[in-house]
Structures are given as structure tokens and as C-alpha cells.
Structure 1
Amino acid sequence: MINLFKKLPAFSADYSGVCNAVQHMHCLIVLHGQGGCIGGVNTCDDFEKERNEERILFTKISEIDTVTGNDKKLIDQIVSDSQEIENDFIIVAGSPIPMLIGTDWNAWVRELEAEMDKPVIAINTKGFATYEYGEKAIFLELVNKFACSVEKESRANIIGDTCLSGWTADMRRQLKVELQKKYNTVVSWNDDATLDDLRKMCSASLNIAASISALPAVIKMKKDYGIPYITIPELNEIKRVDKLTGARSILLVGEQIVMNQYREQIRRNNPDIQISVCNFFEMNPEWMEEGDCRLFGEDDYIKYLNEHGHCDCIVGDSLLEQFGGYEQKFIKYPQIALSGRLLNDR
């Protein structure tokens, strides 16, 4: 069987991407589906939950409600819970069950907004795509919902700096400090964005795409509102790679924008090193170099190592160390969407 995973766990699903992308915003997240489908969000993918207020609800739809299509019961539940849990807007994400029964998300949005008088966004995630597709969908929908023409100011938006894309609190803090040297206001959507910040998103003079997930949103804001965007400036987390003596080849496995930045930094001091970037999740072909590869499973990774020979150094999630493929050193760089919260905690 092609791409039967024998050593790696299942990757984070699209609805996990939605939940992680907005978990620091002052919103109520409603994940619609059966407990077995959506339980991974809490047990594996919600890596930063301990620093957040609990604002995720699971509908845990019953078999009877599934068969009868009793949406009214679930909508009433969301309205009731929204009154008890402080929030500024509602995010509803789907899973395999809503997909199978054909849930009318537009009707949910109309009814919920009418009853609660606050913004509601529904994302038609299905649980079969990986996390970045959920993140792309919610970032783009936030633009569609809240973007409007406003007066420009000295502001920068950071979009896509999620833990599933490899971002840590230290990385966010470092990036904000650098940007605050140039801009009066710096808003990280994944860290501290309020509803007011979202409504002022188009006052920004620059958008920062911190991961591939941000591209549809920043491209739309550039097209519709003329806001330029760049990928992330220099980061400092992987400078220990520079200390490898005699390294001729390095493989970086992780989110493309982050790993491309590290590749540029390493080359600055080591221009002769061959550096390739691979990822088990989406990659932009325009930013790929010779030797880069989009991987769809562990079979692809094994094939890549066999075809390209052993590297001097591999940087990637700790679960990839078991596959070998390096001569000198394996540097652990956790990728939560690949190995999950529990394995990285251990």
C-alpha cells in the first residue's frame, strides 16, 4: 500500500489548522462533529492550550441528530454557550460528519448571526486535508469578513505564525521586536489580534507571511487594498547549524517559509554548502530550488533519502531521526503537525 504510515503518526487535519490559527483570538471556536473525529485537536494538536482560556466547544453530534439533521438543537447549544463564554465572534469548523450529511454552513451563519448579533464565520473543513488548508481557509475568510478600506497607518500584520507551522512564542517575540523598530503597531494574528485589529487590518502598510498558510490572505489584501507583503525576516533559532565542521550538505525538513529563511542565513556564512528543503505539507513551487521536494508520506521521505544519498546534517522533527540519512548530526526541530503534542512533550 502506497504511503501506509508505519513509523509516523497521522498528520494534523485541516480543522486542527483552523483551531490553532485563531486560538489566541478573542473568539469562540465550535468544532462540529463526532468526538472520535475531533478529539485529536485537544490531545495532539492544541500545543499551546495551556496558555489560553478554554474557548473551544465540541458539538459531539449524536447518531440520532446526524440521521435526522437536527441542526436547530446544535445552533441553540452554540447560542447558549456563547452567552456563558465571553467572545467577540464565532468560528465554526466542520469534520467528516457534517460533510457526509451536507451541513448548510451558509444557513448556520445566517441563523447564528441573527440570534447573537455578532460576526460568525463557518469553515467547511472535512478532516481529510492537512492542517495548512484549514489555516489558509480561515485566514482568507477573516479577510473576506472584516477587511475594509481604512486610512493607512504605521502598522504591520503578521499572519501564519502558528505552532503547527513551527512557530514558538520566542520566535514570535523576536519577530515583533524587530518589526517594532520600524512600525508603531505590530499585530500577530496568532498571538494578540483583537476584533478591532482585524477590522483595521487594511490600515497596515505591510503584511508579513509567516508561513505558506498566509499566502491567499496576503495576496488578496495586496490585490484589493494595495498592501505589500514579504516573507519573514531573519530568525535566530538554528544558528547551531553553522557550527558543523566540514558540512557539505544539509537537509531542512519543515515549513517552507521558515526553512527557506534558515537556508538563507546558513548560506550567508557557508556559501558552498548544498542545502535542500523538504516538507510533508504544502510548498510553493516558485520558492523551491533544485533538490527541494514536497513529501506526501514517509515512503516519499525514504525514497528521497535513497535517491539523494546521505547528507552531513538533517534538521527536522525528532521522529525523522529514526529514518537515518545523515552522516554527522541530526538536529531536532519539532514540527507539531507531523509528530503531535504528546511525542514532543516527551
Structure 2
Amino acid sequence: MKGLRKVLTPFAPDQSGAVSVLYALGGAVIIVDAGGCTGNICGFDEPRFETQAAAVFSAGLRDMDAILGRDQLLVDKAVEIAESLHPKFAALVGTPVPAVIGTDLKSLCRLIEKKSGVPAFAVATNGFKLYDAGCEQAFWTLFKKFCTDRFQTSRKGIGVLGATPFDCDLDALDAFLEAHPACTAYGWSQDEGLDAFADGASAERNLVVAPDGLKAAKWLDRHFGVPYKLYDPMAAQFAESVPDVSGKRILAVHQQVAVDSARQVWLARGAASVTGATWFMSLKELAQPGDLKLKEEDDFERAAAEGGCDIIAADPTLKPLAKRFAGQWIDWPHFAISGKRLNPHE
């Protein structure tokens, strides 16, 4: 039934994805809302909130602020934050209220930047799309704002684009970065922070580990000649850990780059077929015949029961929807689906 959720909770909206990208960069992130969106982000959608400090604020819009368009109050608050905390930037993140009433966030950012001297920009989210649309917009906006050097004399290092807690396990990505010191995950570490975006033009190449990183990767390729590859090494490592896939038909449920990277490994190990399925952003570059774009719980129930697969690799939250599946279930955690931190290697 359309819209009926018996197991799954609502997926995170685009403003949550934008904050996820901005969270560790040392800026002041101002969510233009009355407080509810900020509460959801900090309480549910950002797993680092409990362990890693960041300057995330709610604009605290009141009814009359929205009705009368008291934009100057928001500008004054942002300037006060900038003068008090001296952040590296100030970012306004859109939500349904400013989207509906037509708030000009870009113009407000120009006023904030002029009055405070702190770089300011807006991420034009509206709360009506999913987290990956917000991640995509935030990555692209950061590069457009800060990566302006067209005269790189040498290239070094590998950029990792699309790495957020929604699509990458925190521990697995940290372990990968530690084992590959030449790699820098944009937006992931407080150590590199905003400097990684400013130096984006000097990367030797980029590794796009989730679909929401592709728009920024294409922009860097077009403007600075930085090539990219769609590949998730953590997903490939997970696929290698799954035993006995020879001759098996596999249904893999995750974000599309992870699914495709795992599919390559499983097919190379002799799997009969690998069908990809995702609830989120789909890329034509990775689409294969038979892949599924899931919208309702019924879609997954039907695929599990009638798809003829021997193995399902998916977040354990989905398991109650596969009651008619008689094959092997492999837990493949995905925070964007469950909102729970789980390590697939434990």
C-alpha cells in the first residue's frame, strides 16, 4: 500500500544530509527552521552529535517571523554567532518554511558575509527530498565556494567524495583512511576540514563512494580536470567477507555505488547473478538490467519473496519484511535505512 510503513521509519530529509556534510568542517551551521528540524537532525540523523562537538544552530523562527519576513533578525543572529565563535564559514541550510515562503537565502548570506567578514553560503534544501539530495547539494556548494584555484602546479592524493555517516560506517571508513594515508575524505575529518575542499583542484583523482558525490566530482573534472571513479572500497571489502557465493543469486540492498562495488566482487567470485536495489538516488551510469528502485515496503517484500534469490544482503531492519524468504540473510547495515550504527564486520 502506498505510503504505509509497518517497519521502516521515515528516511532523513535533505537538510539532514546537508548538515552531515557540513558537520565536521569547523563552520557555523544555521538551520533556518523553528527548531523541529534541528531537533530531528541532532537527535536522530547525525550519529556524531553525541561524541563530536560542532556549531549547529536553529534560526528559531517564530510564526510572525515567517509571516512578516523578518529576515534582518536572522542576519543579526548569524553575525553575532560569527563574532562570538569565529567560525571558518557560516552556512544557512534551508527547510520547508523558508522554501514555502520564498526566503532568499543567498541574499541573506551576502549580507552576513559583508557584515561579519566570514564566508557565508546557503545550501538550498527544502525538506521535501531525501538526505542524498542534501548531501549532493552541500558537496557541490562547498567546492563552488572554496575551490577556486585553477593554477595547480602538481597533483597529489586521492579525494573520497560522498562519504557521510548515512552511507558509510564510521569505523570502517576510519580504518580505510588510516590504511590509505593518500586518501582524504571530503567533509569527514576535522583535521583536514575546509582545507580539503579548497585544495580539491590538486587531487590526482577522486573516488566517489556514494551517488551524492557524483555531481561535485563531475564539476571538479569539468573545471580542473580531476578524473573520478565510482567505487566504494568498504562495500567491496564487505563483499569479500561474505562466504560461499559461487552459483548463488544475490539481492543486494544499499546505496547504488556500494551495491555496484559489491556486485563486481561477487560476480568475480562466481555468483550467478546480483540484483541491486536501493531506496535512494539512482545513477544511470551504474544501472543494470533487473535492478530495482524501491519506493514502498511492499516493493521489497515482493522482491524478497518472488525474486528467486538465494542470498539477501541488506540492513537487518528490513528482515521482518522478508518473512516469505527462505534463503540466506546477510546483514549489511545502512544507517540511512535504519538510523542505527551497526558494524557489518563485527
TM-score, with normalisation over the residues of structure 2?
A: 0.90
Matched, 1:168 2:170: yes
Measure the CA separation in 1 of the matches of 2:8 and 2:247: 28
Structure with greater contact order relative to length (CA < 8 Å, sep ≥ 6): 1
Show CA shifts across 1:121-174 (max 9, x none).
101211110001001111111121112213232122111111112332322431
Q: Does structure 1 retain, via aligned residues, the 8 Å contact 2:160–2:207? A: yes
2:319 aligns to what?
321
333-342 vs 124-133, which moves further: 333-342
64-73 vs 49-58, which moves further: 49-58
2:296 aligns to what?
297
SS in 2 for 1:287: coil
Amino acid at match of 1:128: F
| Structural mapping, 1:84-103, within 5 Å | 84-103=84-103
Which of these residues, 186, 191, 197, is aligned with residue 189 of structure 1? 186
SS in 1 for 2:258: helix
| Structural mapping, 1:199-210, within 5 Å | 199-210=198-209
SS in 1 for 2:166: helix
SS in 2 for 1:5: coil
Q: CA deviation at 1:38?
A: 3.8
Measure the CA separation in 1 of the matches of 2:95 and 2:232: 35
Matched, 1:251 2:251: yes
TM-score, with normalisation over the residues of structure 1?
A: 0.90
Which 4+ runs in 1 deviate beyond 6 A? none
Q: Does structure 1 retain, via aligned residues, the 8 Å contact 2:24–2:193? A: no
Task: Structure 2 unaligned segments of length 5 or more: list them.
Answer: none
Show CA shifts across 1:176-207 (max 9, x none).
523x3xx4xx3211322333332221011111
Task: Structure 1 unaligned segments of length 5 or more: list them.
Answer: none
Amino acid at match of 2:317: L
Name the CA shift for 1:140/1:108 in 2 (closer, same or farther; >3 Å): same
Identity over aligned residues, as a percent?
Answer: 24
Q: Does structure 2 retain, via aligned residues, the 8 Å contact 1:32–1:61? A: yes
Q: CA deviation at 1:286?
A: 2.4
Measure the CA separation in 2 of the matches of 1:273 and 1:121: 49
Measure the CA separation in 2 of the matches of 1:79 and 1:129: 29
CA RMSD of aligned residues (A): 2.2
5-14 vs 295-304, which moves further: 295-304
Name the CA shift for 1:327/1:171 in 2 (closer, same or farther; >3 Å): farther
Q: CA deviation at 1:321?
A: 0.1
Q: CA deviation at 1:25?
A: 1.2
Q: Does structure 1 retain, via aligned residues, the 8 Å contact 2:158–2:206? A: yes
Amino acid at match of 1:24: A
Q: Does structure 2 retain, via aligned residues, the 8 Å contact 1:23–1:52? A: no
Measure the CA separation in 1 of the matches of 2:225 and 2:207: 14
Q: CA deviation at 1:247?
A: 6.2
192-201 vs 108-117, which moves further: 192-201
Q: CA deviation at 1:111?
A: 0.5
2:338 aligns to what?
339
Q: CA deviation at 1:47?
A: 1.3
